[in-house]
């Protein structure tokens, strides 16, 4: 009995001790957890909770800087240059509807259609000489558009419905004037004329009383800065455009993308504190960091030459029913690009409505093509520079030639109409653009030396011009350890390799510059916000051919204009050196029988070159050879440039 009692007491004590230990352990764990939590909050997450606390009484705003501008120049009579903006910034209106304030939703919906949509539909129907069926369809379209507007205007109690995201200030004034008539009638005349209104300090006011704001019930707007291109389509593929998908503006394509960081600038910031009832109070000057505006860029592009070249190019493309074309004008002594434009182009102010997004690309540097006979000048320069041929070197032209390892003969372009030319010299090879003569000249130096020169001329590599998306071209057939005879032969007259128009222009630049190739550039200077100007210094890429070779080839090119296929390029009073190229368009497994690309490259004046220019017409429908399309285009632009620069006549 005593033992049982003793054991029970011992068991009771043991249970109590276990409970005590458990309580102590729980208390220890809770204390440890509390200590850990305090450490985590006060030390480990100090920054986060400080920020959270600060957010309860502070507002932090990131300030977007003003984007830098892009300029091109215009030469004045005294030799100075006047700058004009190609890309700048301008305030546009974001127009919205206030449905809760609309007096007559149906009338407003129809008026919106009449202002924004009716003129476009009517112009389209008129241009197409619409049929009765098309007019019926247009009527149906009108009803659909008005119904969409009505969904926005007829929302009682709704304070906001977006209408137009980017409306010019002049159009905004016209819109408000149009709505100034009777709110219950679609046919009522406006009571306020556009010339009576003006935008001032973000408000629409009367000109005769700037303190009086002009308001239309149910309409509202906010002014926001946007990128603006005053010259519209001019140089559009050079410039690119700016998108506002992120609300801050990012450059896409062209210079806008390539120099986006420089143009954008640096963010600023503004820290403010919330006062009572949500009011805002600036703390002090130390809380404000001014945004740094982007740098301005001045281009080497001449405004008058660019505008004229682009206009003439569009006319030529339309005249010949071509799919497109390009023009590049360069100062051969510096490498500065004076003009660069392509067709079709687009309006960067309205880039979203482009017919084909491929129009964004710059064909002068992006698209590769087989250049054809303009490449024969390169082949001839190589052979002359190596001392293997001279202008008087002769060979027997049979009109066609067989190449080892190739099953069919390579013919001259005029073989079907002219046949063999017989014994001719190298000058005649360029004059008559003989494929067999180009092969002969290439064979005198051999495929390996020929390939090394082609690479030295810059083919197969980017030129390094300050534009994004430049293509390197391709000379892959000439980079193998064992160059096939057929690949070297076709390359000698511009087939089997791919170049960009800018790459193809560069050998002619070197010839015009006494054999020295310059690096092409398009930015003359960058002006930073601190006033520092970074000027571009012309850079030599290296000597490609000797000065003697350059002079010899230049004289041969003059003969092409005087006696050969480029007679239409002649300009009275000047010696011009140039070469045509008519290339079949490469297709899978061969070449198109009907599609050609016409290229013409010329130097003027040849004795002291002021410019070297390439004109290119893609797939013209009405002429087969370049002398009928690219040559007249070149002559028109060249004649303008010579007069614009007041270049003295020498003959």
Q: Tens digits of per-residue pLDDT, 45-67?
A: 555 445 444 444 555 677 889 99
Residue 7: left if φ>0, alpha if ψ -120 to 50, beta else—which one? Answer: alpha
With the C-alpha atoms ordered 554, 556, 558, 564, is the resulting torsion angle positive or negative?
Answer: negative
pLDDT number for residue 271: 74
- Whether residues 158 and 75 share a domain: the answer is yes
pLDDT number for residue 135: 61
Query: What is the rounded distance in angstroms from the CA atom of residue 313 to the CA atom of residue 309?
Result: 6
Q: What is the side-by-side strand order in the sheet with 337-343?
A: 337-343, 324-330, 611-618, 590-604, 577-587
Domains of the chain: total: 3
- Whether residues 86 and 19 share a domain: the answer is no
- Whether residues 624 and 522 share a domain: the answer is yes
Mean of pLDDT values over 433-456: 97
- Whether residues 260 and 309 share a domain: the answer is no
Helix-helix angle 132-153:118-128, to 10 degrees: 170
Phi/psi for 365 (5° steps) reads -130, -10
For residue 64, being part of any structural domain is answered with no
Say which CATH number the domain at 284 has.
3.90.1310
Strand (E) or helix (H) holding 541:
strand 540-543
Q: What range does the domain containing 275 cover?
A: 70-289
pLDDT number for residue 53: 47
pLDDT number for residue 138: 60
pLDDT number for residue 260: 95
For residue 365, being part of any structural domain is answered with yes
pLDDT number for residue 279: 47
Mean of pLDDT values over 255-271: 91
For residue 209, being part of any structural domain is answered with yes
Lowest mean pLDDT among 60-74, 138-152, 265-279, 350-364: 265-279
Confidence of residue 3 (pLDDT cuts 50, 70, 90): very low
- Whether residues 437 and 316 share a domain: the answer is yes
- Whether residues 12 and 77 share a domain: the answer is no
Confidence of residue 142 (pLDDT cuts 50, 70, 90): confident
463 near 457, Cβ under 8 Å?
no
Mean of pLDDT values over 177-190: 89
- Report residue 64 as tokens: 């977007």
- Whether residues 319 and 423 share a domain: the answer is yes
Residue 2 has pLDDT above 50, yes or no: no
Whether residue 344 is preceded by a cis peptide bond, meaning omega within 30 degrees of 0, is yes
497 near 473, Cβ under 8 Å?
yes
For residue 538, being part of any structural domain is answered with yes
Residue 136 has pLDDT above 70, yes or no: no
- Whether residues 621 and 511 share a domain: the answer is yes
pLDDT number for residue 5: 45
| pLDDT 10s digits, 156-169 | 888 999 999 889 99
Mean of pLDDT values over 84-107: 94
Contacts of 282 (CB under 8 A, 6+ apart): 270, 272, 273, 288
For residue 297, being part of any structural domain is answered with no
- Whether residues 310 and 223 share a domain: the answer is no
Lowest mean pLDDT among 377-386, 391-400, 410-419, 537-546: 410-419
Residue 1 has pLDDT above 70, yes or no: no
DSSP letter at 103 equals: S
Residue 7 has pLDDT above 50, yes or no: no
Mean confidence (pLDDT) of the chain: 89
pLDDT number for residue 24: 66
Say which CATH number the domain at 609 has.
3.40.710.10
Burial class (CB in 10 A: 0-12, 13-18, 19+), 235: buried
Mean of pLDDT values over 249-260: 95
Chain CA centroid to CA 226, Å: 18
**420, 489, 502: which is closest to 459 by C-alpha?**
502
- DSSP letter string, 179-204: TTS-TT-SSPPPSS-GGGEEEETTEE
């Amino acid at each position: 009995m005593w033992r049982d009692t003793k054991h029970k007491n011992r068991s009771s004590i043991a249970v109590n001790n276990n409970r005590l230990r458990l309580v102590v352990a729980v208390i220890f764990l809770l204390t440890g957890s509390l200590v850990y939590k305090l450490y985590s909050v006060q030390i480990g997450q100090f920054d986060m909770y400080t920020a959270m606390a600060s957010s309860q009484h502070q507002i932090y705003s990131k300030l977007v800087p003003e984007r830098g501008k892009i300029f091109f120049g215009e030469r004045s009579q005294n030799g100075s240059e006047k700058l004009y903006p190609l890309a700048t910034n301008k305030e546009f209106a974001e127009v919205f509807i206030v449905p809760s304030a609309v007096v007559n939703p149906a009338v407003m919906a129809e008026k919106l259609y009449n202002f924004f949509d009716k003129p476009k539909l009517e112009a389209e129907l008129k241009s197409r000489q619409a049929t009765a069926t098309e007019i019926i369809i247009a009527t149906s379209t009108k009803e659909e558009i008005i119904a969409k507007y009505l969904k926005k205007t007829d929302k009682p109690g709704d304070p906001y419905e977006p209408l137009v995201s980017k409306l010019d200030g002049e159009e905004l004034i016209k819109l408000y004037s149009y709505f100034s008539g009777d709110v219950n009638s679609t046919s009522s005349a406006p009571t306020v004329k556009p010339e009576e209104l003006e935008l001032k300090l973000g408000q629409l006011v009367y000109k005769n009383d700037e303190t009086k704001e002009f308001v239309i019930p149910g309409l509202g707007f906010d002014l926001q800065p946007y990128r603006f291109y005053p010259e519209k389509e001019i140089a559009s593929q050079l410039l690119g455009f700016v998108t506002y998908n992120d609300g801050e503006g990012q450059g896409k394509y062209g210079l806008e993308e390539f120099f986006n960081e420089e143009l954008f600038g640096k963010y600023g910031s503004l820290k403010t504190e919330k006062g009572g009832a949500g009011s805002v109070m600036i703390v002090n000057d130390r809380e404000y960091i001014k945004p740094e505006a982007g740098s301005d860029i001045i281009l080497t592009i001449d405004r008058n030459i660019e505008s004229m070249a682009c206009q003439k190019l569009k006319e030529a493309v339309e005249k010949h029913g071509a799919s497109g074309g390009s023009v590049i004008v360069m100062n051969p002594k510096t490498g500065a690009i004076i003009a660069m434009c392509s067709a079709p182009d687009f309006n960067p102010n309205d880039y979203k409505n482009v017919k084909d997004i491929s129009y964004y690309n710059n064909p002068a540097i992006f698209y590769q093509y087989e250049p054809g006979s303009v490449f024969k000048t390169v082949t001839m320069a190589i052979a002359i520079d190596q001392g293997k041929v001279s202008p008087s070197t002769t060979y027997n032209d049979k009109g066609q030639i067989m190449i080892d390892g190739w099953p069919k003969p390579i013919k001259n372009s005029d073989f079907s109409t002219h046949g063999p030319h017989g014994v001719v010299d190298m000058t005649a090879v360029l004059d008559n653009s003989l494929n067999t003569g180009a092969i002969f000249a290439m064979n005198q130096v051999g495929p390996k030396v020929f390939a090394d020169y082609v690479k030295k001329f810059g083919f197969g590599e980017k030129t390094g011009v300050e534009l994004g998306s430049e293509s390197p071209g391709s000379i892959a057939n000439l980079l193998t350890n064992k160059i096939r005879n057929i690949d070297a032969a076709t390359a000698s007259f511009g087939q089997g390799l791919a170049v960009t128009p800018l790459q193809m222009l560069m050998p002619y630049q070197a010839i015009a510059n006494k054999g020295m190739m310059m690096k092409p550039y398009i930015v003359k200077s960058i002006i930073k916000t601190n006033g520092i100007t970074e000027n571009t210094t012309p850079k030599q890429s290296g000597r490609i051919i000797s000065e003697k070779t350059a002079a010899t080839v230049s004289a041969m090119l003059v003969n092409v204009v005087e006696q050969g296929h480029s007679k239409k390029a002649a300009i009275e009073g000047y010696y011009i050196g140039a070469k045509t190229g008519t290339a079949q368009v490469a297709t899978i497994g061969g070449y198109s029988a009907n599609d050609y690309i016409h290229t013409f490259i010329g130097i003027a004046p040849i004795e002291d070159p002021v410019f070297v220019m390439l004109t290119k017409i893609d797939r013209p429908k009405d002429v087969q050879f370049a002398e009928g399309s690219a040559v007249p285009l070149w002559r028109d632009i060249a004649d303008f440039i010579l007069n614009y620069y007041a270049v003295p006549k020498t003959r």
